Amino acid sequence: MPSLTLKLDRLEKLVGKDLNIDDLEYDLQWVGLDVDDVNKEENEIKIEYDPNRPDYSSPEGIARSLKGYYELEIGLPEFQINEGTEEIRVNPKVRDIRPFVVGAIVRNIDLDEDQVGTLMNIQEALHWALGRDRKKVAIGIHDYDQVKGPYIYTTVKPEGVKFRPLHMEAYEMTPKEILEEHEMGIRYAHLLKDAEEYPIIYDAEGKVVSLPPIINGTYTTVTDKTKNLLLDLTGTDFNAVNYSLNIIATTFADMGAKLESLAVIYDDKPNEILKVPDFSPQIMEVHIDYINSYLGLKLSAIDIIKCLKKVRLDASKTKDKNKLNVKIPPYRVDFMHEVDIVEDVAIGYGYHNLIPVVKEGGFGKYHPAEVFANKTRDIMIGAGFLEMVNSTLSSQKDYENLGLDFNENEQIILLNPVSEKFNTTRSNLIVGLMKNLAFNRSAEKPFHLFEVGDILQLDKNRDVGASRELHLGAITLSEGADYSQIKSLLDHYFRTLGILDDIVVKPCSNPTFIKGRTGEIYYKKKKIGFVGEIYPQVILNFGLNYPVAAFEINLMPFFKDHEE
């Protein structure tokens, strides 16, 4: 987990209360922090926080929670944003590379050494927790007095401009040279892989402010004399970019700085002006009986509102006596479900005030999918087949060996794989079973192998962008391996399940199999797999010299019909 060292004297100033290091060690756990180490000589406490609380990456964020815990300030924190005059115009060319940008103007800063360290820690924490190492979010902090708005967020060809990048100020470099020679360019070049042009931010005079997500220009270097800042945050996920801005902007506000809004204007939508940062609270509906059922309490609406105010949230009653509208501050990113509200009610109530109750244990049972998978294993083992358990990782070369075209737009690709042998995930089980045969090519024949396992595929309908399916794959290698042999096994499997009458096999063309000796398998008119004799060139690609036949089916469409 990420960590942070808190200095007692600084925390006292932020909280507005004298603190005892022993009491603080005890209190921190009740606002959701783990104490890793206490240095009483230096009056420092090292804490760890959950990655879903990046607002805890600064003493300012922790001080907000402690103020609520000590009831010095309760409810939503208030942050002032002055109406700014600056704007950043967004060229449509960034849409397919890094489409989102937000920012703010920060005035009247006077950063000491500790606060500079805080900013560096926040940047690192946000780049990691929300930014996925700058893929989703990259943060730029600039000396505002060295640039002039309006700003332009657009793209540039790899050799289309030269500027002096941070940490290599001696000479001007093109974006292409930065990605090839600069330490940060080399580290993050993969984020711009295959891009014909790179995202860039200019000021009104054509100065390069930033080459996101790589490096800033030297014009805007922040020094101990800097009094005003320009923030720019770019990325591929608007929510992540916006939350990151809110976290860093509210931290500046707690440091005593003045915030000014920035207008984001997309050139292809000039009438839709986005003013950022936007500190409007998120509203989430919660049910009182749901909270009480989780916590084993009988809290009233007033009680729950009081608990939420202590953790710097707020809530109001609705016409429905069982519902509350909860207001969530703009820097909190960890609310996805009603149960997340329950957790904060528990913190506000005090976990130490909850009375543990030992409930009677229930009876565990297998998931229906696992029940069906075990039944499938029994059938296959009974037919004389040996079970394999292969990795879900595979490679582009493996797919090409199967005679399949490897399309990166249709496959899950691993970023920065440890080995090219594991640079993608499997979308079928046959590839692993063929490798099993290849690995054991010198062993005594015949081979009869099967695997029951998950395959992974891209899925736009899932919030994670991918889904998994439970499959059965079977393969046989022998002098007499052919379509009839593998089809007989397939029929035996479905006959044992009692669904053979619902199965239809239709001729098809598949580059992995011999034409005229392969078919697609349908269950209740839905395609669930394929069966056939492996194409000779595919057999040779895996270093084998015996006939091979195989089938693979998706078990998902019918396992619920056969629960035990």
- Residues 530/521, Cβ–Cβ less than 8 Å: yes
Give tens-digit pLDDT for 80-131: 999 999 999 999 999 999 999 999 999 999 888 888 888 888 998 999 889 9
SS3 content of the chain, % helix, strand, coil (to 5): 35, 30, 40
| Predicted local distance difference test score (pLDDT) of residue 564 | 40
Q: Is the pLDDT of residue 560 over 70?
A: no
Q: Region 403-428: what's the mean pLDDT?
A: 83
300 with 264, same domain: the answer is no
Per cent of the chain over pLDDT 70 is 99
Read off the pLDDT of residues 302-338 as tens digits, 9 standing for 90 and up: 999 999 999 999 999 999 999 999 999 999 999 999 9
Interatomic CA distance for residues 142 and 125, integer angstroms: 19
Name the nearest CA neighbour of 328 among 320, 318, 338, 319: 338
Indicate whether 363 belongs to any domain: no
Q: Average pLDDT, stretch 278-288?
A: 97
How far apart CA 535 and CA 92 sit, in angstroms, is 47
**DSSP character at residue 280:** P
61 and 104 both lie in a single domain: no
Phi, psi for residue 204 in degrees, rounded to 5: -65, -20
453 and 555 assigned to the same domain: yes
> In this predicted model, what pLDDT tens digit does every residue of 378-400 receive, in sequence order?
999 999 999 999 999 999 899 89
pLDDT (mean) for 154-160: 97
| Banded pLDDT at 563 (limits 50, 70, 90) | very low
287 and 269 fall within a common domain: no
Average pLDDT over residues 484-492: 96
d(CA 80, CA 107): 12
In this prediction, residues 191-210 reach a mean pLDDT of 96
**DSSP per-residue letters across 128-154:** HHTTTTTTSEEEEEEEGGG--SSEEEE
Q: Of 256, 276, 296, which residue constitutes the final position of a domain?
A: 276
Write the DSSP symbol of residue 199. Answer: E
357 within some domain: no
The pLDDT mean for the chain works out to 93
> How many domains is the chain partitioned into structurally?
4
427 in the same domain as 333: no
In which domain, by residue range, is 309 found?
A: 282-352
Tokens encoding 556: 């998902």
How many residues does this entry show for the chain? 564
Is residue 401 pLDDT above 80, yes or no? yes
Q: Which two tokens stand for residue 20?
A: 């005892």
Is 75 inside a domain boundary? Answer: no
The Cα 508–Cα 255 span in angstroms is 68
Residue 41 sits in the same domain as residue 64:
yes
Q: What is the number of other CB atoms lying within 10 angstroms of the CB of residue 536?
A: 13
Judgement on whether residues 60 and 187 belong to the same structural domain of the protein: no
What CATH number does residue 181 fall under?
3.50.40.10
In angstroms, rounded to a whole number, what is the distance separating the alpha carbons of residues 428 and 553? 9
Cα dihedral 245, 247, 248, 253 sign:
positive
Residues 134 and 264 in one domain: yes
Confidence of residue 520 (pLDDT cuts 50, 70, 90): very high
Bigger pLDDT: 406 or 367?
367
Do 394 and 470 have their domain in common?
A: yes
Q: Are residues 142 and 11 both part of a single domain?
A: no
Which residue, 208, 243, 276, sits at the end of a domain? 276
Whether residues 65 and 153 fall in one domain: no
Is residue 76 assigned to a domain?
A: no
If you average pLDDT over residues 428-441, what whole number do you get?
95
Which pLDDT score, from 0 to 100, does residue 423 have? 87
- Domain assignment present for residue 227? The answer is yes
pLDDT score for 277: 98
pLDDT at residue 118, as a whole number: 87
Domain CATH for 539: 3.30.930.10
**What pTM was estimated for this model as a whole?**
0.69
Question: At which of 69, 92, 107 does a domain end?
Answer: 69
Query: Are the C-beta atoms of 67 and 16 separated by less than 8 Å?
Result: yes
Query: 322 and 301, same structural domain?
Result: yes
Residue 436 CB-half CA count within 13 A: 22
**Whether the Cβ atoms of residue 90 and residue 265 lie closer than 8 Å to each other:** yes
Which pLDDT does position 405 carry in this prediction? 83
* 219-273: pLDDT as tens digits: 999 988 899 999 999 999 999 999 999 999 999 999 999 999 999 999 999 899 9
Adjacent-strand bridge partners of 95: none
If DSSP codes are grouped into helix, strand and coil, which group holds residue 283?
strand
Q: What is the pLDDT of residue 364?
A: 82
CATH number of the domain at 38, please. Answer: 3.30.56.10
The arithmetic mean of pLDDT across residues 31-59, rounded, is 94
Position 74 in a domain: no
**Cα–Cα nearest to 415, from 405, 425, 400, 404:** 425
Residue 379, token pair as written in the block: 């059938």
